[in-house]
Amino acid sequence: MDILAILIPVSLGLGAVGLGAFLWALRHRQFDDPNGDGQRVLSDRWDDRPPPD
């Protein structure tokens, strides 16, 4: 039963870290266009170079 005194705070801390990471991702717009990001990776039309002038 003593192990629960360690495991419960550790699990709550890990849950808080996960929630913090999720909120960070929401604020930095990581989930705005997941389908578009997947299509751009597979398409030849998009590359890392800027478009020619």
Q: Which two tokens stand for residue 30?
A: 């990581």
Looking at residue 53, its pLDDT comes to 64
CA distance 47 to 49: 6
Looking at residue 27, its pLDDT comes to 93
Looking at residue 38, its pLDDT comes to 77
Looking at residue 47, its pLDDT comes to 64
Domain ranges of the chain: 1-42
CA distance 39 to 34: 9
Looking at residue 34, its pLDDT comes to 77
Question: What residue ranges of the chain have pLDDT lower than 70?
Answer: 46-53
**Measuring CA to CA, which residue among 20, 40, 39, 23 is closest to residue 31?**
23
